[in-house]
Amino acid sequence: MSTPPSPPTSDLLPGPRFALDRRVCVFANHWGGRRVVGMLFGIVSRLGDGVFWYTLMLALAMLGGQRGLAAALHMALTGLAALLLYRVLKRWTRRPRPYRACPGVIARMPPLDEFSFPSGHTLQAVGFTVVALAWYPQLAPLLLGFTTLVGVSRVVLGLHYPSDVLAAIVLGGGVGGASIWLWPMTI
């Protein structure tokens, strides 16, 4: 079964407003063609699929007593809200992924779904990080570093435009911030 040809790039991302987005995407994706770079960001992206976050939640729940259990539950509920938002936005915007719309961009790993906007990995990572840091600020170096790598990985791997990642940072920060406002940390 063959895939239908993609429409021309100009039909998908018209005008100068997307020119920088395309250029950065192509540059980052070419950089990701280096073996070590591609492997590193591939691993980061796979860990960002959930393995890293679920392991963190499990560790907090098992080792952190009541506080850790509350933090893990808070993260899980925030993740669910972020997932619902991401799914609605993907269906609504239906933005094609860069490897389908930008000549020269290669998908360096298979995507988890069809559309590009917003980056679900980044949205989840930022939402989880905001909540986890509200409970355990000492985790900042680990979580901020990992979350940054997750966002960069999505562009390097040809799966997202930089604007998808930037929007996901704002959305994830909003979801995480709202969940902290709605769930006072009393433990």
pLDDT tens figures, 58-104: 999 999 999 999 999 999 999 999 999 989 998 898 888 888 877 78
Q: Work out the average pLDDT over 170-181.
A: 95
Residue 109: its pLDDT value, please?
82
pLDDT grade, residue 175 (50/70/90)?
Answer: very high
| Residue 93 and residue 117 in contact, taking contact as beta carbons nearer than 8 Å | yes
Residue 70: its pLDDT value, please?
94
- What is the residue-wise DSSP string for 61-100? HHHSHHHHHHHHHHHHHHHHHHHHHHHHHHHHH-PBPHHH
Percent of the chain with pLDDT over 90: 55
Residue 147: its pLDDT value, please?
97
Please give the mean pLDDT across all residues of the chain: 86
Residue 136: its pLDDT value, please?
96
pLDDT grade, residue 16 (50/70/90)?
Answer: low
Buried b / exposed e across 24-56, counting CB within 10 Å, b at 16+?
A: ebbebbeebeeeebbeebbebbebbeeebbeeb
- Answer whether residue 139 shows pLDDT above 50: yes
Residue 1: its pLDDT value, please?
42
pLDDT grade, residue 15 (50/70/90)?
Answer: low
> In the chain, what is the straight-line distance between the N-terminal and C-terminal CA atoms, in Å?
55
Q: Work out the average pLDDT over 108-121.
A: 85
The CA distance from 155 to 165, in Å, is 8
Number of CB atoms found within 10 A of residue 92's CB: 10
H or E element at residue 50 = none
Residue 39: its pLDDT value, please?
87
- Answer whether residue 29 shows pLDDT above 80: no
Reading the block at residue 162, the tokens are: 């930089």
Choice among 4-18, 43-57, 142-156, 168-182 with the minimum mean pLDDT:
4-18
Would you identify the CATH topology of the domain 16-182? Vanadium-containing Chloroperoxidase; domain 1 (1.20.144)
